[in-house]
Amino acid sequence: MDAPPTLVGPLPILPALPGVGWSIKVSPRFLTLEHSHVSGRESRAARQALPTLDFTLSYDGLSSDFNNQGLFFKSLQMLMGMILQANGPSLPFVYVDPQNDYVADVTLGVGDGVTTDFKFSYPIGAAKFLPGIVIAVDAVKLSGVAQFYNWNLFYPNTLHFYTAPSSGVAITATFNFGHICRFVNDQEDFENFMQGLHSLSALNFTTVKV
């Protein structure tokens, strides 16, 4: 099998490896200021607009040499090398969640004849979330009409129009996205449990802003 891509823009990407085990954990984490009053009432204020996402992956199988048990050739070196490339928690990287990385015909906003930049976003139930990084854009439409030349993707997650969409025009997009993250721990414990086969019980990382 071919090796997965190693870069998204200027950032390394966490390789998508077949040895990832279950379960995969994602934990939205909010930052809320709370104050208790003498009356017993409480007041709360959100200290950030969007939650931080904490991820935990486990790797049941990583091959250090051949394509063992359907694992990528030298998948251990792929993962370990990417962690070294990020210098542990020091540098950001891109994680693409295979369960949540693509949306179609999502409304990004409505034109006013002046605004040229619109943030990419995607729905999670009734909420709206901003992707850390947009990886590829399949389509941009203005009121359902596909646009081919009047727009560009500005790193990491902004849709830029060279000519502002007219007032009242609905702006939609179809795109792939990922999260910009950093590792949590300074140490990762790889276990060699069989000749040529390794595991990693928990790889923890969290989303960051760039």
Picking from 147, 153, 113, 109, the residue whose alpha carbon sits closest to that of residue 128 is 109
| 109: amino acid identity, one letter | G
The pLDDT assigned to 1 comes to 40
Instruction: List, in order, residues 6 or more apart from 38 with CB less than 8 Å away.
Output: none
Q: What is the pLDDT of residue 2?
A: 44
Rounded to whole angstroms, the Cα distance separating 170 from 162 reads 16
DSSP the chain: -PPPP-EETTEEB----TTB-S--EEEEE--EEEEE-TTS-EEEEESSSS-EEEEEEEEEEEESSS-GGGPPTTHHHHHHHHHHHTTGGGS-EEE--TTS-EEEEEEEEE--SS--EEE--EEETTEEE--SEEEEEEEEEETTEE-SSSEEEETTTEEEESSPPPTT-EEEEEEEEEEEEEES-S---EEEEETTEEEEEEEEEEE---
User: Cβ distance 101 to 184 under 8 Å?
Assistant: no
- Give pLDDT tens digits along the chain (210 positions): 444 556 676 899 999 999 899 989 999 999 888 878 877 788 887 777 888 999 999 999 998 887 666 788 888 999 999 999 999 999 999 999 988 999 999 999 999 999 999 999 999 888 889 999 999 999 999 999 999 999 999 999 999 999 999 999 999 999 999 999 999 999 999 999 888 899 999 999 999 987
Cβ(180)–Cβ(92) under 8 Å?
yes
Cα separation, 118 vs 134, whole angstroms: 13
